[in-house]
Amino acid sequence: MRSTNPVYTGLPMTVFEVMSRLAKEHDAINLGQGFPDVDGPTDVKARAAEELISGLNQYPPMMGVPELRQAVAEANRRFYGLDVDWQREVLVTSGATEALSDCMAALIEPGDEVVVFEPLYDCYLPLIRRAGGVPRLVRLEPPAWQLDAGALAAAFGPKTKAILLNNPMNPAGRVFSRDELALIAELVVAHDAYAICDEVYEHILFDGRRHVPLMSLPGMRERAVRIGSAGKTFSLTGWKVGYVTAAPALLDPITKAHQFTTFTTPPNLQRAVAYGLAKDDAYYRDLAGALAAKRDRFAAGLAKLGFGVVPCQGTYFITADAAPLRLNVSDVEMNRRMTIEARVTAVPVSAFYETAPPVSFLRFCFSKKDEVLDEALARLGRWIAG
Ligand code: PMP
Ligand code: GLN
């Protein structure tokens, strides 16, 4: 038999699927894979239902229904002051994952280097490599998740085609500062590169922080690609409605990759998301506010149990160091035992590193009902005591 593509051949199943299966198998509380346990707004779901029954169910326009593309352009203006032409600068995709795949396929040529931060979201390296790109990793490590400006600058070189940036950052719960973004922008311009910005957690920032798209910095409007997802913004992760904003010269090849990847995204869901994006400020405030309260509740509980809790500035993930518990096992083994014995599942942070991972940190998803978070803490407490 001939060989199959080495990038995907033998690749393990993604850690999120592995953790969800493990949790199910052991009837554990699943704080592993990131998804809320309560659906987002009922009116957005109702809108989708109406559109399903009474609206159009045939292929929508390849770039997305006009209502959603207009709503994305309007959201860019409303939240970030970005002036976006909905017809030439917005593309709807089947989730942020498809958008990332389209970007890699469209912008990367074999041999191009792509600067990317470790910890890494699961699909980044395979998508870069499948496009023929060569990842240049810049490490951030818990608990400080400090970005080393020298290491970042050193990762850029004559072969750099792009930087792939996740802000707010999963799993670190880290929000890049304006100074850090300015440094990234400077490096991107100096190396005539592009910036692919995975901003799916753009509305989940805490403690008064406001999201700053890299695209809004000087020199970035023509070079940045901004990716959002209704999955995160409306707590409807199964919908897989994503959107890309980029200058026409960048969006054009990304659109061509999209047209031969999924071609379109369900029109009813698109229209419902268009409706959702226009929600008033209170909706967005409440989304972040409710999650901040959950973060505080869960962080306090973990700290009480003896975990070294790492501050979380954004996203619905919190990382915690299990080393102070002195169980003397790796994060992978800790998580396995926690699932089987305590019936609580997290994600070992080592899964987000390609080399030399930190081995005592766990990522917990706190986008869950308070009683679920409390029960998880109670189970962990009994387990640790035992
Ligand atoms: N990027 C990051 C950082 C994520 O955490 C996720 C997970 N939802 C995605 C992309 C994928 O988003 P979607 O479900 O819209 O494909
Ligand atoms: N983004 C989610 C997480 O980080 C998982 C999405 C997925 O399973 N692909 O947990």
> Which residues form ligand 2's pocket by a CB distance below 6 Å?
16, 33-34, 170
Q: Tell whether ligand 1 has an atom less than 6 A from the beta carbon of residue 345.
A: no
From the CA of 169, the nearest ligand is 1
Distance 85 CA to ligand 2 centre (A): 30
The two structure tokens encoding residue 271: 């229209």
Q: Do the Cβ atoms of 92 and 63 come closer than 8 Å?
A: yes
From the CA of 265, the nearest ligand is 1
> How many CB atoms neighbour CB 158 within 10 A?
7
Can you tell me which atom of ligand 1 is nearest the CA of 169?
3
Q: How many residues does the chain have?
A: 386
Q: What is the pLDDT of residues 329-343, one digit of tens each?
A: 999 999 999 999 999
Backbone angles phi, psi at 296, to 5 degrees: -65, -45
Q: Tell whether ligand 1 has an atom less than 6 A from the beta carbon of residue 135.
A: no
Q: How confident is the model at residue 74 (pLDDT cuts 50, 70, 90)?
A: very high
Q: Tell whether ligand 1 has an atom less than 6 A from the beta carbon of residue 229.
A: yes
> Which residue's CA is the closest to the ligand 2 atom numbered 7?
16
Q: Do the Cβ atoms of 316 and 366 come closer than 8 Å?
A: yes
The two structure tokens encoding residue 69: 């593309």
Give bridge partners of residue 104 from the DSSP assignment.
none
Q: What is the pTM of this model?
A: 0.98
Q: Do the Cβ atoms of 347 and 320 come closer than 8 Å?
A: no
Q: What is the pLDDT of residues 134-146, one digit of tens each?
A: 999 999 999 999 9
Can you tell me which atom of ligand 2 is nearest the CA of 17?
8
Given this model, what pLDDT does residue 142 score? Answer: 97
Can you tell me which atom of ligand 2 is nearest the CA of 121?
4
Can you tell me which atom of ligand 1 is nearest the CA of 237?
14
> How many CB atoms neighbour CB 59 within 10 A?
9
Q: What is the mean pLDDT of residues 20-48?
A: 97
From the CA of 94, the nearest ligand is 1
Distance 74 CA to ligand 1 centre (A): 22
Q: Do the Cβ atoms of 181 and 219 come closer than 8 Å?
A: no
pLDDT at 370 over 90: yes
User: What integer best gives the mean pLDDT of the chain?
Assistant: 97
Q: Which of 204, 379, 244 is nearest to 302 (CA)?
A: 379
> Which residue's CA is the closest to the ligand 2 atom numbered 1?
34
Q: Tell whether ligand 1 has an atom less than 6 A from the beta carbon of residue 360.
A: no
Distance 351 CA to ligand 2 centre (A): 12
Q: What is the pLDDT of residues 81-114, one digit of tens each?
A: 999 999 999 999 999 999 999 999 999 999 999 9
Given this model, what pLDDT does residue 207 score? Answer: 98
Q: Do the Cβ atoms of 180 and 166 come closer than 8 Å?
A: no
From the CA of 117, the nearest ligand is 1
Q: How confident is the model at residue 197 (pLDDT cuts 50, 70, 90)?
A: very high
CA distance 382 to 241: 40
Given this model, what pLDDT does residue 386 score? Answer: 87
Instruction: State the helix-helix crossing angle for 95-107 and 248-259, rounded to 10 degrees.
Output: 110
Residue percentage of the chain with pLDDT more than 90: 99
What is residue 264's three-state secondary structure? coil
Distance 355 CA to ligand 2 centre (A): 21
Q: Do the Cβ atoms of 241 and 95 come closer than 8 Å?
A: yes
Given this model, what pLDDT does residue 126 score? Answer: 98
CA distance 18 to 61: 35
Q: How confident is the model at residue 247 (pLDDT cuts 50, 70, 90)?
A: very high
Instruction: Compute the C-alpha angle 349/351/353, nearest 5°.
Output: 90
Which stretch of 11-15, 137-141, 199-203 has the lowest confidence by average pLDDT?
11-15
Q: What are the angstrom distances between the C-alpha of 151 and each of 113, 137, 154, 281? A: 15, 9, 5, 39
Distance 200 CA to ligand 1 centre (A): 6
Q: What is the pLDDT of residues 207-223, one digit of tens each?
A: 999 999 999 999 999 99
Distance 339 CA to ligand 2 centre (A): 18
Q: How confident is the model at residue 233 (pLDDT cuts 50, 70, 90)?
A: very high
pLDDT at 153 over 90: yes
